[in-house]
Amino acid sequence: MDIYALKITKNIDQHLFNKFLSFISTHKKNKIIKMVHQADKHRSLLAELLIRFLIQNDLNIKNEQINIKIDQYGKPYLNSALDFHFNISHSGDWIVCVIDKTCVGIDVQEILPIEFIDIVQNFFTKTDYTFITHGDVHNQLKRFYRIWALKESYIKADGRGLALPLESFTFDILNYKDIKILTSNVLKNCYFKEFNIDPTYTMAVCSMHNNFPQKITYIPQYKLVNKYKELVLKGD
């Protein structure tokens, strides 16, 4: 398993942004174009370019050879390498990605002020509620985002996404290193690990094995942008 993270330091120049759109699928391109906010557009484009950059490096193929499909639940997969599993998430200034040989899920959440009690009561379990509301308000907010990221990583690894109700499972969290999921339909050999990439973010990975990397590989934005600048120059 490999885990990657990219911190967004600035928006891509508009000319390059338009050029870079040609390096992703038509489906993804159309979704990005329809987005209202520029920050969302740039975040989504960089996320797509990142996974393509990693696929090119891992499988030694060209960008135009990458054929990312979407399954019935909306989960992307690589049609030409079914043992190449990946998942990607982005929030705020961070994009994170995990790659493995088995099903895997990842989620990152920026810790922002939010009225979370109603969300927990309506969409989470009673056990979640008890865990989240323990301690002072600041810690409650952090606990809410921790549970949220863990749940997202699980439903993404499972593959069914939000077709799997968030209230159908919960977690037994003894500490940051021992997280167990409680559900009647638990994934076989399902493991979790949280990573601290930024004090104001929470991040979780769900895997079918417990062999998590000790460190995250950080990819500078300029390195990714320069890679696709080279492709632009070749095309021009």
Question: Concatenated DSSP letters for 46-97?
Answer: HHHHHHHHHHHHHHT--GGG--EEE-TTS-EEETT-TT-EEEEEEETTEEEE
Average pLDDT, the chain: 90
Those residues whose C-beta lies under 8 Å from the C-beta of residue 171, and which sit 6 or more positions away, are 127, 128, 131, 147, 150, 179, 180, 181, 182, 192
Alpha-carbon separation of residue 207 from 104, 111, 199 (angstroms): 5, 23, 24
Q: Sorting pLDDT into bands at 50, 70 and 90, what band is 183?
A: confident
Using CB atoms within 10 A of its CB, is residue 190 exposed (0-12), middle (13-18) or buried (19+)?
buried
Which pLDDT value is given to residue 181?
76
Instruction: Provide the total of helices (H) and of strands (E) in the chain, helices listed first.
Output: 7, 11
Q: Sorting pLDDT into bands at 50, 70 and 90, what band is 160?
A: confident
Which pLDDT value is given to residue 187?
59
Higher pLDDT among residues 106 and 76, named by residue? 106
Q: How far is CA 200 from the centre of its chain?
A: 16
Condensed to tens digits (0 to 9), the pLDDT of residues 59-98 reads 999 999 999 988 888 888 898 887 899 999 999 999 999 9
Which pLDDT value is given to residue 89?
98
Rounded Cα–Cα distance for residues 201 and 220 (Å): 18
CA trace torsion 67, 71, 74, 78 (10° rounding): -30
- Rg over alpha carbons for the chain, rounded to the nearest Å, is 18
Q: Are 107 and 149 in contact (CB under 8 A)?
A: yes
Which pLDDT value is given to residue 175?
61
- Is the pLDDT assigned to residue 184 strictly greater than 80? no
Which pLDDT value is given to residue 177?
64
CATH code of 2-235, in short, is 3.90.470.20
Which pLDDT value is given to residue 44?
97
Q: Sorting pLDDT into bands at 50, 70 and 90, what band is 161?
A: low
- Is the pLDDT assigned to residue 234 strictly greater than 90? no
